[in-house]
Protein backbone atom coordinates (compact mmCIF):
# COMPACT_ATOMS: atom_id res chain seq x y z
CA UNK A 1 0.00 0.00 0.00
CA UNK A 2 2.91 2.38 0.60
CA UNK A 3 4.14 1.75 -2.92
CA UNK A 4 0.70 2.59 -4.28
CA UNK A 5 0.59 5.83 -2.35
CA UNK A 6 4.07 6.66 -3.62
CA UNK A 7 2.93 6.06 -7.18
CA UNK A 8 -0.22 8.17 -6.65
CA UNK A 9 1.66 11.13 -5.22
CA UNK A 10 4.56 11.31 -7.64
CA UNK A 11 2.90 10.17 -10.84
CA UNK A 12 -0.22 11.65 -12.38
CA UNK A 13 -3.18 9.43 -13.28
CA UNK A 14 -2.30 9.26 -16.97
CA UNK A 15 1.20 8.04 -16.28
CA UNK A 16 0.05 5.79 -13.49
CA UNK A 17 -1.55 3.29 -15.82
CA UNK A 18 1.56 3.25 -17.98
CA UNK A 19 3.74 2.77 -14.93
CA UNK A 20 1.44 0.10 -13.54
CA UNK A 21 1.44 -1.80 -16.82
CA UNK A 22 5.21 -1.42 -17.02
CA UNK A 23 5.64 -2.67 -13.47
CA UNK A 24 3.21 -5.51 -14.06
CA UNK A 25 5.01 -6.52 -17.22
CA UNK A 26 8.38 -6.21 -15.51
CA UNK A 27 7.26 -8.21 -12.49
CA UNK A 28 5.58 -10.81 -14.65
CA UNK A 29 8.62 -11.15 -16.86
CA UNK A 30 10.93 -11.25 -13.85
CA UNK A 31 8.81 -13.86 -12.12
CA UNK A 32 8.50 -15.86 -15.30
CA UNK A 33 12.23 -15.73 -15.95
CA UNK A 34 12.93 -16.60 -12.33
CA UNK A 35 10.51 -19.49 -12.47
CA UNK A 36 11.90 -20.66 -15.76
CA UNK A 37 15.54 -20.34 -14.88
CA UNK A 38 15.88 -21.10 -11.20
CA UNK A 39 12.90 -23.21 -10.26
CA UNK A 40 12.76 -25.11 -13.51
CA UNK A 41 16.48 -25.80 -13.63
CA UNK A 42 16.77 -26.74 -9.98
CA UNK A 43 13.63 -28.84 -10.16
CA UNK A 44 14.87 -30.62 -13.24
CA UNK A 45 18.38 -30.94 -11.90
CA UNK A 46 17.44 -32.18 -8.49
CA UNK A 47 14.06 -33.86 -8.60
CA UNK A 48 13.59 -35.09 -12.14
CA UNK A 49 17.16 -36.17 -12.76
CA UNK A 50 17.47 -37.99 -9.50
CA UNK A 51 14.10 -39.66 -9.86
CA UNK A 52 14.71 -40.56 -13.49
CA UNK A 53 18.15 -41.84 -12.60
CA UNK A 54 16.82 -43.79 -9.68
CA UNK A 55 13.98 -45.14 -11.81
CA UNK A 56 16.42 -46.13 -14.51
CA UNK A 57 18.79 -47.59 -11.98
CA UNK A 58 16.18 -49.62 -10.19
CA UNK A 59 13.78 -50.68 -12.90
CA UNK A 60 16.07 -50.95 -15.89
CA UNK A 61 18.75 -52.69 -13.88
CA UNK A 62 16.25 -55.07 -12.39
CA UNK A 63 14.78 -55.72 -15.83
CA UNK A 64 18.24 -56.32 -17.23
CA UNK A 65 19.17 -58.48 -14.31
CA UNK A 66 16.10 -60.64 -14.49
CA UNK A 67 15.11 -60.85 -18.12
CA UNK A 68 18.27 -60.23 -20.09
CA UNK A 69 20.40 -62.37 -17.84
CA UNK A 70 17.89 -65.19 -17.93
CA UNK A 71 17.68 -64.88 -21.71
CA UNK A 72 21.45 -64.93 -22.03
CA UNK A 73 21.67 -67.88 -19.67
CA UNK A 74 19.06 -69.89 -21.52
CA UNK A 75 20.55 -68.92 -24.86
CA UNK A 76 24.04 -69.90 -23.79
CA UNK A 77 22.74 -73.10 -22.26
CA UNK A 78 20.94 -74.02 -25.45
CA UNK A 79 23.98 -73.18 -27.55
CA UNK A 80 26.27 -75.18 -25.28
CA UNK A 81 23.81 -78.07 -25.19
CA UNK A 82 23.46 -78.13 -28.94
CA UNK A 83 27.22 -77.92 -29.38
CA UNK A 84 27.88 -80.67 -26.87
CA UNK A 85 25.15 -82.84 -28.34
CA UNK A 86 26.41 -82.38 -31.85
CA UNK A 87 29.98 -83.01 -30.71
CA UNK A 88 28.95 -86.15 -28.87
CA UNK A 89 26.85 -87.35 -31.77
CA UNK A 90 29.48 -86.79 -34.38
CA UNK A 91 32.76 -87.50 -32.67
CA UNK A 92 32.21 -89.47 -29.49
CA UNK A 93 29.62 -91.82 -30.91
CA UNK A 94 31.69 -92.40 -34.00
CA UNK A 95 34.77 -92.96 -31.88
CA UNK A 96 32.95 -95.42 -29.63
CA UNK A 97 31.41 -97.12 -32.64
CA UNK A 98 34.76 -97.51 -34.31
CA UNK A 99 36.30 -98.90 -31.13
CA UNK A 100 33.39 -101.27 -30.59
CA UNK A 101 33.45 -102.33 -34.23
CA UNK A 102 37.15 -103.00 -34.21
CA UNK A 103 36.96 -104.82 -30.86
CA UNK A 104 33.95 -106.86 -31.94
CA UNK A 105 35.56 -107.64 -35.25
CA UNK A 106 38.76 -108.80 -33.67
CA UNK A 107 36.97 -110.69 -30.91
CA UNK A 108 34.52 -112.33 -33.28
CA UNK A 109 37.25 -113.10 -35.75
CA UNK A 110 39.48 -114.65 -33.13
CA UNK A 111 36.56 -116.52 -31.62
CA UNK A 112 35.47 -117.86 -34.99
CA UNK A 113 39.04 -118.73 -35.89
CA UNK A 114 39.55 -120.57 -32.63
CA UNK A 115 36.33 -122.50 -33.18
CA UNK A 116 37.34 -123.33 -36.73
CA UNK A 117 40.80 -124.39 -35.58
CA UNK A 118 39.38 -126.59 -32.89
CA UNK A 119 36.93 -128.09 -35.36
CA UNK A 120 39.68 -128.65 -37.87
CA UNK A 121 41.86 -130.28 -35.23
CA UNK A 122 39.01 -132.40 -34.10
CA UNK A 123 38.18 -133.35 -37.65
CA UNK A 124 41.80 -134.07 -38.49
CA UNK A 125 42.33 -136.16 -35.38
CA UNK A 126 39.23 -138.17 -35.97
CA UNK A 127 40.21 -139.02 -39.52
Candidate from 16-20, 32-36, 77-81 with smallest mean pLDDT: 16-20
pLDDT band at 100 (very low <50, low <70, confident <90, very high): confident
Mean pLDDT of the chain: 78
Count up the domains in the chain and report the number.
1
pTM strictly above 0.85? no
Q: What range does the domain containing 66 cover?
A: 2-126
Q: How far apart are CA 12 and CA 31, in angstroms?
A: 27
CB-based contacts of 8: which residues, under 8 Å, 6+ apart? Answer: 16
Amino acid sequence: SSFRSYVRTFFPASRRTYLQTFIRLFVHSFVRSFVRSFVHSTYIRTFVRTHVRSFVRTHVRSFVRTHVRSFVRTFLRSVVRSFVCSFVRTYVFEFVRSIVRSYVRTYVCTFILSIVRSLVRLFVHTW
